[in-house]
Structure 1
Amino acid sequence: MPLLRKLHEENEKLFDRLTEKSGLASSPQAPSPSSNQATNAQGRDIGRSNSAKTQSPDVFPATMSQDKTGNSGAIVKSSNELAKTTPAGEYLTSALMDFDPNHFEGFAAIADGANKLLMLVLAAVIKAGAAREHEILAEIRDAVFSFIRKMEPRKVMDTMLVSRVRILYIRSLLARSPELQSIKVSPIERFLEKSNSTSRSRGSSRGSSPGRSPGYHHDHVSRVALIDENVQGFKVNIKQEKKSKFSSIVLKLRGIEEETWRQHVTGGKLREITEEAKAFAIGNKALAALFVHTPAGELQRQIRAWLAENFDFLSVTGGDVAGGTTGQLELLSTAIMDGWMAGLGTAQPPSTDALGQLLSEYSKRVYTSQLQHLKDIAGTLATEEADDPVHVSKLRSALESVDHKRRKIMQQMRTDTALLTKEEGGSPIRNPPTAAEDARLASLISLDNILKQVKEVIKQSSTRPLRKSKKKALLESLDDLLAQMPSLLDIDHPCAQKQITDARNVVESLQEDPDDPAPDPNSNSNTLGESEVSQWNVLQFNNGTTAPFIIKCGANSSCELVIKADQRVQEPKGGEVIRVVPRPSVLAEMGFEEMKGVFEQLPEAVSLLALARSADGTRARYSRLYRTLASKVPALKEIVAEMERGGVFKDVRS
């Protein structure tokens, strides 16, 4: 049964199954005019090919118009596109993924089941029409490629069907990928060669097969990708039939009609040409590129033209030639096309078929181009100097968006079933380095957080009346932010410096509350007001020399660390006191005795936990204590992280 008739039958079976599955059999929906028109156009193309007895790969032409809604949509899909499903896609995905050769008895049964699934794929594309061709192909993409790779070792698939499916996907990729529009392929004349040998052995064309991995190179002037010119042609071995009276007499004596014998010889020769063409095409990526880049129906016309030009006797009108001259050209070109199609779909273990290898290379080229495009954008953003908080936020958002897209592409590459691994003969994808862009993004994140804290300081300074302790705490906060600047790149220093300096000028210019008395360090009164701390977190410590003691920690409205603890660890404890704990940066330039003076204003527990034998040791122990306490306060976790990045902590973990 001809392939096209089978496709029509499988198409109808698929439609019946889907209408039953989706419950639409009783109330079918009328197809849209555009879809109906596309389907009719497909049907007319198939009819012409069938009447010409040609099994052309262009029976299912891909729409080559550019996708105006988004570049490179064939590779990077939006979340909506990824989630889009159809009854046909769901059915085919399930059928392809669930196909188990072990459930069939014998080679013929497995081959029949596998080839029917491939025909269903082609039928579904026809049914979808040109308008929805890309959608159905994208939906079943992973299932199709996994199925082909799974069945390749068994050698049960019709390789011409494999080629047709591959061509659909490559043309879909070409239609939606501007990165591939510059590719040029060699003309048909470079793939055909007139043989000087009269031998009919299959080895005549096998020896002339081109290299199995045609290279690609870039013309740096025109930026046009070209197929390697070192392509050997397929040797076509045809000779003019010489009539012999003796052979005619022998045939008559044997009771064989001369016309029947001529058709028998012609059929044998065509089969031989097809087999030789298949051997020539196996693993031939240059020929695969010619197939996918040549418009519908054009390739076979070019083969016919080459045959007519190089074999004069085929161009001479002969009434005694079976089928006429045109018939012979059609038969010969079809034999070559069929052989090439079968060869291009034949796998080369451990790799896949030539079209699959070409699809992998094209996909990698698109991925590489997209990654380079994102790197160029990120590189431009990374060199842009930020002027103010709004500009910083926009730059950070833009770089994060580019980084998100890059990671998304990398994830798709890792899961793309069309890409060949190194073990399968695939080439590695060169991922452009992004160290500079990543460093700028990290710097902008730190800068953005610093500016948010500067904004919070300005907000806190607007409260009236402004206590002396509050003003001092705000200025210390700005000093701490200034100490975080080493975590920024040089390009971000001017913006941070300006914002911190402006905030300091604002705070210093504010009038203090004249009625605010200086705090008495020996007083048990709560100068901060316990009501400022909304939640206390309790930690118990044991230094090994005293009984365990408790320190409660929290945060005030200025995002400062506040502790509540007994004034002394041992009896008489003197009652609880509440104090703001200075940040580690306050101790940076202090001597040992100065630090002891600071600790005397705090509960005794701080001195027991922080004091060491030296100034550096004390700074390290105090940093660890501050980190431990502040990490337990949810409101201070982000500030602690910023202090860690800024190198504020002087303990061994910094």
Structure 2
Amino acid sequence: MLTKVLADSLGGSSKTLMIVNVVPNSANLSETLSSLNFSSRARNAVLGLGNRDTIKKWRDIANDARKELYEKEKESQDLKQEVLGLKHSLKDANDQCVLLFNEVQKAWKVSYTLQSDLKSENIMLADKQKIEREQNAQLRNQVAQLLQLEQDQKVQIEQRDSTIQALQAKMKSIESRLSEALHSSEDRSALGSDLSNAKAIGDGMDSPPVTKKLEEELKKRDALIERLHEENEKLFDRLTEKASLAGSPKLSSPLSKGPLNVQSRDLVRIDSRGHSMDVVPSSPALAADKTEGTVALVKSGSDKVKTTPAGEYLTSALNDFDPEQHDSLAAISDGANKLLMLVLAAVIKAGASREHEILAEIRDAVFSFVRKMEPQRVMDTMLVSRVRILYIRSLLARSPELQSIKVSPVENFLEKANTGRSRSSSRGSSPGRSPVRYVDEHIQGFRVNLKPEKKSKFSSVVSKIRGLDQDTPRQQVTAGKLREINEEAKSFAIGNKALAALFVHTPAGELQRQLRSWLAENFDFLSVLGDDASGGTTGQLELLSTAIMDGWMAGLGAAVPPNTDALGQLLSEYSKRVYSSQLQHLKDIAGTLASERAEDAAQVAKLRSALESVDHKRRKILQQIRSDVALLTLQDGGPPIQNPSTAAEDARLASLISLDGIVKQVKDIVRQSSMSTLSKSKKKQMLASLDELAERMPSLLDIDHPCAQRQIADARHVIQSIPEEDDHLQEQSHALKPSTDLGFGTETDVAQWNVLQFNTGATTPFIIKCGANSNSELVIKADAKIQEPKGGEVVRVVPRPSVLESMSLEEMKHVFSQLPEALSLLALARTADGTRARYSRLYRTLAMKVPSLRDLVGELEKGGVLKDVRS
């Protein structure tokens, strides 16, 4: 059995190791002997023929498997090599895609920048055109009104002339009749009848008094006519003067029809360019219309106000409050006062760090609400005063020009009854004082009427029994007395701007301390050291000062229509001061910039930018005043905001704009002339362009003439120093370039490439990059071939279309063979004329993409070089 099992492993070249396990036990003797015999036979076993064939077969199979495995491994290695090659090709393709994407990104960035610049320039030009149209329309209205006024005056003069002539004819007839009556003594009766007829005709002009009266009348009318003529001449002289100083004059305000009165008209100051810079109107309505512009008072002019949930809620609540939705005045008063208390609570909760932000956020809503509710007289005036003081102090903190204001001390606002004003020596320390006073010393003081108590004998006896001091008189401050003082203080404070300034510039604690000090000094029977009565004497001083302070505070917030409250008037006046100061500051800056002289193009651009920035800020300030709610009081009394004239600055800005344009055109001309030689016509054209720029010099101010003259003279010297040659030689030199090795040995350095993509219907579009070298020649960069292998990018100088005029189709193909294949496919046509036309359009397309070559395209079009000729 074991032999059959191990038949394949026994004999032949196989090595058989047989391990026999024998047991030296007599019981297993037979098994031991049989095992030994089997192992002896197995050692001598020989492999049969069948087993040899099987082994050979399996060896062959193993060899075939080895060969197949080798071939598979070799094929695997080849595939790996191919994959590595494909990966390398893919990496190269990805690198090219990245480079192309970067170029496209740069091109998009440049295109976006150009589009944004073009858009901003279009907007600026549209604004200028709109302004010019408005100015022209206003000027036409002014001229029409002046013509109408002149016609009216002519009609009046004609009527007066006819009246004068009629009167003169009557006078002559009367005089002739009088002379005839004097010379003929025999016709005295006829004289009487003639004189009576003359009286009837001439309204009694035959008598000497009537004659004198007529003469006086005629003199007055002559004087009036002469005055009217003078006024008319002045008006037209002013109009022609403005028209000569500016190309499109604009009058400040329409002139009223009817007889002229210089003293009653609005005073209008007009600058050299015809703009109205300062108007002092004769009516409050005009004053409100003319108060324009300054920086932000609580919020900054350029930054947007930060919004908070509390600010948004308060703004909405203040704007949506409608008194008509409430049933009674009590309900209206309750709602309005709750909103004011919410405003104060929001400012307190915001803290000192965010106080200005919350005030700026709800500023317009608060002032609109107060102005809307003032006629109702339902608001707690103390709350109104506290809100107003918050805004005025916020304005003071941000306006150094207001911090130098000094207010009168509290003693100037107090008087002792029956003794006149108190001249106490005590002075309170008010913050931010300077030598400038806000109010004068002649203000009506508030009279404090306090009298000591007269003690009876019985009370003296009682005081003596109790051991009290009898020499110190006492004042019993009753509730009725306090109410009376409070009402008197409120009446005193209504409309008192000087007292409002005292409250704004002096802290409340300091003001009450000064008030208590004055009361204790002027009413010595209210001893500060006393400790009797209800609350003690110190308590009485506290009650009196509090009653006066509360009355003043309530009066300062009370509005008496058509006037707003005193604090509102003060806020409006302070706002106007700040606006005027800021406008004057911008005026000073603009004046300094306008007086600077520009030496080169960089300084011209810098000065122009600075003046435009100042002018933009001034316009923003003027725009902000129009919407400043703090200035829209019930009745705007007081002077309007002074808008200083910027005529000189505006004229310098216009001159700088013109100078900047001249300098840029000079640079373009110099850049076009940056080549070794110039044709005679080209040189003549450049010099003519410089002459045209020189003719624009009168539009500049005298201070800008040296810079413009220096730029034009330098450019003229550069152009004249370039050698010139005949036009046909110039064209031949251009024609030699494509026939020889075009593009090699020429300048191909380009500062900036512009990418164009031509979709021809093929799977991949043609991409050509174009630019300009220092010689103002068109340079392109594209792949040498369209199909693979493309051969990499080549840079070539493109010949002008005039080079192809005298060439045949084969010569054109030879020229295009040295250029990228994409350009050749785009330009070549079936005929020579078609090729010239297609190449002319292609050259225009590529050159118009390069900003520095656009002028060259215009010149070629004027010269007839760029023509789309079809066969």
TM-score range, shorter chain: 0.5 to 0.7
The equivalent position to 1:406 in structure 2, one of 618, 624, 638, is 618
C-alpha distance 316-509 of structure 1, shift in aligned 2 (>3 A): closer
The equivalent position to 2:855 in structure 1, one of 557, 572, 578, is 557
State the secondary structure of the residue aligned to 1:429.
coil
Counterparts of 2:665 and 2:677 in 1: how far apart (Å)?
Answer: 21
Deviation at 1:479, TM superposition (A): 1.3
Q: Which amino acid aligns with 2:351?
A: G
The equivalent position to 2:313 in structure 1, one of 91, 104, 107, is 91
Counterparts of 2:528 and 2:651 in 1: how far apart (Å)?
Answer: 74
Report how many aligned residue pairs link the two structures. 442
Deviation at 1:317, TM superposition (A): 5.6
C-alpha distance 384-225 of structure 1, shift in aligned 2 (>3 A): farther
Deviation at 1:351, TM superposition (A): 2.2
Match for residue 46 of structure 2? none
The equivalent position to 1:79 in structure 2, one of 302, 317, 324, is 302
Match for residue 481 of structure 1? 693
Counterparts of 2:562 and 2:490 in 1: how far apart (Å)?
Answer: 19
Deviation at 1:423, TM superposition (A): 4.2
C-alpha distance 500-424 of structure 1, shift in aligned 2 (>3 A): same
The answer on whether the counterparts of 1:72 and 1:177 sit within 8 Å (CA) in structure 2 is no
The equivalent position to 1:578 in structure 2, one of 850, 853, 864, is 864
Counterparts of 2:393 and 2:579 in 1: how far apart (Å)?
Answer: 16
C-alpha distance 146-470 of structure 1, shift in aligned 2 (>3 A): same
Counterparts of 2:530 and 2:320 in 1: how far apart (Å)?
Answer: 55
Match for residue 26 of structure 1? none
Counterparts of 1:357 and 1:425 in 2: how far apart (Å)?
Answer: 8
Structure 2: segments with no counterpart, 5+ residues: 1-293, 423-432, 461-473, 732-799, 806-839, 848-852, 867-871
Encode CA deviations 1:511-563: one digit per residue, 9 max, x unaligned: 234563599xxxxx996995675599xxxxxxxxxxxxxxxxxx952485776
Match for residue 413 of structure 2? 191
Encode CA deviations 1:181-205: one digit per residue, 9 max, x unaligned: 21000011101110118xxxxxx99
Higher helix share: 2
Deviation at 1:467, TM superposition (A): 3.0
Match for residue 606 of structure 2? 394
C-alpha distance 330-434 of structure 1, shift in aligned 2 (>3 A): same
The equivalent position to 1:167 in structure 2, one of 386, 389, 397, is 389
Counterparts of 1:246 and 1:359 in 2: how far apart (Å)?
Answer: 57
C-alpha distance 171-191 of structure 1, shift in aligned 2 (>3 A): same
Structure 1: segments with no counterpart, 5+ residues: 1-70, 198-203, 209-218, 249-261, 520-524, 537-554, 565-576, 581-654
The equivalent position to 1:101 in structure 2, one of 309, 323, 327, is 323
Deviation at 1:409, TM superposition (A): 1.0
Counterparts of 1:325 and 1:397 in 2: how far apart (Å)?
Answer: 69
The equivalent position to 1:492 in structure 2, one of 671, 691, 704, is 704
Query: Equivalent residues in 2 for 1:186-585 (5 A)?
Result: 186-196=408-418, 224-244=436-456, 266-315=478-527, 321-420=533-632, 423-463=635-675, 466-514=678-726, 516=728, 557-558=855-856, 578=864
| Aligned-pair identity (%) | 72
State the secondary structure of the residue aligned to 1:235.
strand
State the secondary structure of the residue aligned to 2:855.
coil
The answer on whether the counterparts of 1:420 and 1:426 sit within 8 Å (CA) in structure 2 is no
State the secondary structure of the residue aligned to 2:297.
coil
Deviation at 1:486, TM superposition (A): 1.1
The answer on whether the counterparts of 1:526 and 1:578 sit within 8 Å (CA) in structure 2 is no
Match for residue 599 of structure 1? none
Query: Equivalent residues in 2 for 1:123-162 (5 A)?
Result: 123-162=345-384
Encode CA deviations 1:337-358: one digit per residue, 9 max, x unaligned: 0000000000122221100111
The answer on whether the counterparts of 2:530 and 2:537 sit within 8 Å (CA) in structure 1 is yes
The answer on whether the counterparts of 2:452 and 2:475 sit within 8 Å (CA) in structure 1 is no
Deviation at 1:440, TM superposition (A): 0.2
Match for residue 619 of structure 1? none
State the secondary structure of the residue aligned to 1:240.
coil
Encode CA deviations 1:588-638: one digit per residue, 9 max, x unaligned: xxxxxxxxxxxxxxxxxxxxxxxxxxxxxxxxxxxxxxxxxxxxxxxxxxx
Counterparts of 1:318 and 1:77 in 2: how far apart (Å)?
Answer: 53
The answer on whether the counterparts of 2:305 and 2:360 sit within 8 Å (CA) in structure 1 is no
The answer on whether the counterparts of 1:461 and 1:507 sit within 8 Å (CA) in structure 2 is yes
Query: Structure with the greater relative contact order (CA < 8 A, sep ≥ 6): 1 or 2?
Result: 1
State the secondary structure of the residue aligned to 2:438.
strand
The answer on whether the counterparts of 1:283 and 1:353 sit within 8 Å (CA) in structure 2 is yes
Counterparts of 1:430 and 1:369 in 2: how far apart (Å)?
Answer: 9
Counterparts of 1:223 and 1:321 in 2: how far apart (Å)?
Answer: 44
C-alpha distance 470-290 of structure 1, shift in aligned 2 (>3 A): same
Counterparts of 2:375 and 2:536 in 1: how far apart (Å)?
Answer: 43
The answer on whether the counterparts of 1:278 and 1:341 sit within 8 Å (CA) in structure 2 is yes
Counterparts of 1:155 and 1:428 in 2: how far apart (Å)?
Answer: 28
State the secondary structure of the residue aligned to 1:411.
helix
The root-mean-square deviation of aligned C-alpha atoms, in Å, is: 3.4
Q: Which amino acid aligns with 1:150?
A: K
The answer on whether the counterparts of 1:360 and 1:426 sit within 8 Å (CA) in structure 2 is no
Deviation at 1:470, TM superposition (A): 2.3
Q: Scaled by the length of structure 2, what TM-score is found?
A: 0.47
Match for residue 110 of structure 1? 332
Counterparts of 2:520 and 2:310 in 1: how far apart (Å)?
Answer: 44
C-alpha distance 154-245 of structure 1, shift in aligned 2 (>3 A): farther
Q: Scaled by the length of structure 1, what TM-score is found?
A: 0.63
The answer on whether the counterparts of 1:125 and 1:136 sit within 8 Å (CA) in structure 2 is yes
The answer on whether the counterparts of 1:350 and 1:424 sit within 8 Å (CA) in structure 2 is no
C-alpha distance 114-510 of structure 1, shift in aligned 2 (>3 A): same
Counterparts of 1:349 and 1:167 in 2: how far apart (Å)?
Answer: 20
C-alpha distance 329-264 of structure 1, shift in aligned 2 (>3 A): closer
The answer on whether the counterparts of 1:75 and 1:367 sit within 8 Å (CA) in structure 2 is no
Match for residue 10 of structure 1? none
State the secondary structure of the residue aligned to 2:864.
strand
The answer on whether the counterparts of 2:495 and 2:566 sit within 8 Å (CA) in structure 1 is yes
